[in-house]
């Protein structure tokens, strides 16, 4: 490093100390340390959102990038393992499927495994699609295993949101960032439209070169100060409220999230080592707050540890996640809805993208445009995947589900559904989060059985096909039988102090 580097550091100001703020601070400090001078300001009067406890597998890669020790992180956050999400009553009442993180069957270059399964199903060869997926069968059996040398399963975590922010805070502060606890009272902009300082109640002006808005739904910088618009998706995603409460542990310790549909939305159950996280997501157009709370209370499987909290949200995305010299990361940038646990993932990809397109010197216009284009493409594909869970349903027992079924959906999603319905093809587009297996599991799980499929399997005799399918199923069964129980594994691998 030459002697000038010190004076040429980019002054990065992070507003907000929730999961978004602390993940951003930790990552920038660890990975761009010598190039940046980071200050994070958070209020002690304004609490973090306090939910966001289910994650998806790419978080593991990000943790590795930050040098996080898995067992230590899990102990600190009372985390458990997650192999997928069980969806109950979505496709229709009394139906159930698991969207797991695993790969189902062996695919060939010509056709995905699904097409072979569909042919076998047509010929009456027994076997549910999920029986060919290790993660799915392990989830159903409450089994789990990983090690630093060998991780046979693709997995993520359930974690305590408050403890996670505290863990990341320690990591970031140890990496040398400046931490200020104060309230942001105003955001001061230059005539160019760029932010030049935050006005803090106790500490006065905090100047910077690049400002990261991690103030959650308030979006103090990108929304309030810079007036960046918000594209509203509530005509596709009707839910706009959630109730959340922590309850006592309800055994067994499941290695998956439970999502159960109700008459005007759905509810979640997230198992941690020391308690459950529960939520009730609903549309205020179809259910009053009082009705929602009553229904929520009735469905809780264990005793509450606190009073129920209500959170209001609007699904959609910020028109430009990066505007002038301000980048929105976290809820300030948009919110799809918690159904597939994609918010923390979007924080991680936002941070990664920012590090890759970091505006170190000169005009940032092209960097900004690229960042915004990539961000938009990514979140729109996630949005389509979430809409799928509502739209493809046989439920007609409430106005909410009738509306979901008959609403106009984005063309991009309509095309995908028709392609699967007619020909059994699912695909993962460039830069898209959800894989072919995810689209297939959910479309099948929601009740679509394609009318035709790739002819590859037609070249096999029934005997050959039946033997191949049986072999695949037995291999999964044997591997599941050898795995330890989830609870036992958590206890020996990463038991938290509170456990």
Q: Which stretch binds ligand FAD (CB under 6 A): 43-51, 88-96, 109-117, 407-415?
A: 43-51
- Position among 12, 13, 14, 17 found at the interface with ligand FAD (CB under 6 A): 17
Minimal CA–CA distance to 449: which of 422, 410, 486?
A: 422
Compute the least distance from the CB of residue 84 to ligand FAD, in Å: 13
Rule CB under 6 A: say whether 48 interacts with ligand FAD.
Answer: yes
To the query of whether residue 82 is one of the catalytic residues in this protein, the response is yes
Q: Which stretch binds ligand FAD (CB under 6 A): 12-20, 371-379, 394-402, 447-455?
A: 12-20
Rule CB under 6 A: say whether 215 interacts with ligand FAD.
Answer: yes
Rule CB under 6 A: say whether 130 interacts with ligand FAD.
Answer: no
- Position among 63, 93, 218, 274 found at the interface with ligand FAD (CB under 6 A): 218
- Position among 12, 13, 19, 323 found at the interface with ligand FAD (CB under 6 A): 19
Rule CB under 6 A: say whether 341 interacts with ligand FAD.
Answer: yes
- Position among 49, 382, 387, 442 found at the interface with ligand FAD (CB under 6 A): 49
The nearer residue to ligand FAD, 17 or 208, going by C-beta atoms, is 17
Catalytic residue among 9, 30, 82, 218: 82
| Crossing angle of the two packed helices 399-406 and 365-391, in degrees rounded to 10 | 120
The nearer residue to ligand FAD, 42 or 135, going by C-beta atoms, is 42
The nearer residue to ligand FAD, 53 or 131, going by C-beta atoms, is 53
Rule CB under 6 A: say whether 214 interacts with ligand FAD.
Answer: yes
Question: What's the N-to-C CA distance of the chain in angstroms?
Answer: 46
Rule CB under 6 A: say whether 183 interacts with ligand FAD.
Answer: yes
Q: Which stretch binds ligand FAD (CB under 6 A): 47-55, 72-80, 123-131, 245-253?
A: 47-55
Q: Which stretch binds ligand FAD (CB under 6 A): 13-21, 74-82, 401-409, 413-421?
A: 13-21
HEC string of the chain equals CCCCHHHHCEEEEEECCCHHHHHHHHHHHHHHHHHEEEEEEECCCCCCCCCCCECCCHHHHHHHHCCCCHHHHHHHCCCEEECEEEEECCCCCCCEEEEECCCECCCCCCCCHHHHHHHHHHCCCCCCHHHHEHHHHHHHCCECCCCCCCCCCCCEEECCHHHHHHHHHHHHHHCCCEEEECCEEEEEECCCCCEEEEEECCCEEEECCEEEECCHHHCHHHHHHCCCCEEECCCCCCCCEEEEEEECCCCCCCCCEEEEEECCEEEEEEECCCCEEEEEEECCCCCCHHHHHHHHHHHCCCCECCCCEEEECCCEEECCCEECCEEECCHHHEECCHHHCCHHHHHHHHHHHHHHCCCCCCCCHHHHHHHHHHHHHHHHHHHHHHHHHHHCCCCCCCHHHHHHHHCCCCHHHHHHHHHHHHHCCCCCCCCCCCCHHHHHHHHHHCCCCCCCCCHHHHHCCHHHHHHHHHHHHHHHHHHHHHCCEHHHHHHHHHCCCCC
Q: Which stretch binds ligand FAD (CB under 6 A): 302-310, 319-327, 343-351, 383-391?
A: 343-351
The nearer residue to ligand FAD, 161 or 444, going by C-beta atoms, is 161
Rule CB under 6 A: say whether 216 interacts with ligand FAD.
Answer: yes
Find the binding residues for ligand FAD in span 50-69 (CB under 6 A).
51-55
Rule CB under 6 A: say whether 42 interacts with ligand FAD.
Answer: yes
Rule CB under 6 A: say whether 219 interacts with ligand FAD.
Answer: no
Side-chain half-sphere CA neighbours of 14 within 13 A:
31
Rule CB under 6 A: say whether 311 interacts with ligand FAD.
Answer: yes
- Position among 12, 13, 16, 424 found at the interface with ligand FAD (CB under 6 A): 16
Compute the least distance from the CB of residue 184 to ligand FAD, in Å: 4
Report the greatest alpha carbon distance in the chain. Answer: 78
Find the binding residues for ligand FAD in span 223-282 (CB under 6 A).
242, 279
Rule CB under 6 A: say whether 21 interacts with ligand FAD.
Answer: yes
φ/ψ of 147, rounded to 5, equals -155, 165
Compute the least distance from the CB of residue 498 to ligand FAD, in Å: 20
Q: How is residue 292 written in tokens?
A: 């929602």
Q: Which stretch binds ligand FAD (CB under 6 A): 39-47, 189-197, 227-235, 483-491?
A: 39-47
CA distance 419 to 414: 9
Rule CB under 6 A: say whether 159 interacts with ligand FAD.
Answer: no
- Position among 12, 13, 20, 261 found at the interface with ligand FAD (CB under 6 A): 20
Q: Which residues contribute to the site for ligand FAD (CB under 6 A)?
A: 16-21, 41-43, 46, 48-49, 51-55, 161, 183-184, 214-216, 218, 220, 242, 279, 311, 313, 330-331, 338, 341, 343-344, 347
Active site residues: 82
């Amino acid at each position: 490093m030459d002697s000038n580097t010190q004076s040429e550091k980019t002054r990065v100001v992070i507003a907000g100390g929730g999961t978004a703020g602390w993940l951003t601070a930790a990552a920038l400090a660890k990975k761009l340390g010598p190039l940046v001078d980071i200050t994070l300001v958070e209020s002690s009067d304004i609490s973090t959102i306090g939910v966001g406890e289910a994650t998806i597998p790419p978080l593991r890669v990000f943790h590795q990038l930050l040098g996080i020790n898995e067992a230590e992180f899990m102990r600190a956050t009372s985390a458990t393992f997650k192999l997928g999400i069980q969806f109950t009553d979505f496709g229709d009442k009394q139906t159930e499927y698991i969207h797991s993180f695993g790969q189902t069957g062996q695919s060939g270059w010509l056709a995905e495994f699904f097409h072979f399964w569909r042919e076998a199903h047509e010929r009456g060869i027994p076997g549910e699609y999920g029986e060919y997926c290790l993660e799915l069968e392990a989830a159903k059996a409450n089994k789990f295993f990983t090690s630093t040398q060998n991780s046979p399963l693709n997995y993520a975590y359930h974690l305590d949101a408050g403890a996670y922010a505290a863990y990341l805070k320690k990591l970031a502060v140890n990496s040398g960032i400046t931490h200020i606890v104060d309230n942001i009272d105003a955001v001061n902009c230059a005539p160019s439209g760029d932010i030049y300082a935050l006005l803090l109640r106790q500490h006065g002006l905090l100047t910077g070169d690049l400002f990261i808005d991690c103030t959650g739904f308030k979006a103090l910088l990108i929304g309030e100060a810079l007036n960046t618009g918000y594209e509203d998706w509530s005509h596709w995603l009707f839910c706009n409220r959630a109730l959340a409460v922590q309850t006592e542990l309800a055994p067994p310790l499941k290695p998956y999230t439970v999502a159960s549909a109700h008459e005007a939305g759905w509810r979640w159950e997230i198992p941690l080592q020391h308690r459950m996280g529960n939520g009730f997501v609903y549309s205020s157009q179809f259910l009053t707050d009082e009705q929602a709370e009553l229904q929520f209370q009735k469905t809780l499987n264990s005793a509450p540890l606190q009073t129920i909290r209500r959170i209001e949200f609007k699904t959609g995305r910020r028109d430009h996640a990066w505007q002038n010299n301000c980048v929105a990361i976290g809820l300030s940038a948009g919110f799809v809805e918690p159904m597939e646990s994609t918010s923390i993932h979007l924080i991680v990809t936002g941070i990664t993208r920012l590090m890759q397109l970091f505006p170190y010197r000169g005009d940032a216009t092209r960097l900004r445009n690229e960042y915004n284009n990539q961000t938009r493409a990514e979140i729109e594909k996630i949005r389509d995947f979430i809409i799928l869970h509502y739209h493809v349903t046989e439920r007609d027992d409430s106005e909410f589900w009738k509306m979901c079924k008959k609403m106009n959906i984005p063309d991009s999603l309509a095309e995908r559904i028709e392609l699967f319905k007619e020909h059994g093809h699912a695909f993962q587009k460039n830069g898209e989060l959800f894989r072919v297996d995810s689209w297939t599991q959910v479309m099948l799980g929601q009740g679509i059985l394609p009318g035709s499929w790739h002819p590859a399997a037609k070249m096999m005799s029934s005997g050959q096909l039946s033997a191949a399918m049986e072999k695949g199923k037995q291999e999964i069964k044997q591997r599941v039988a050898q795995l330890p129980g989830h609870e036992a594994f958590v206890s020996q691998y990463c038991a938290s102090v509170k456990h």
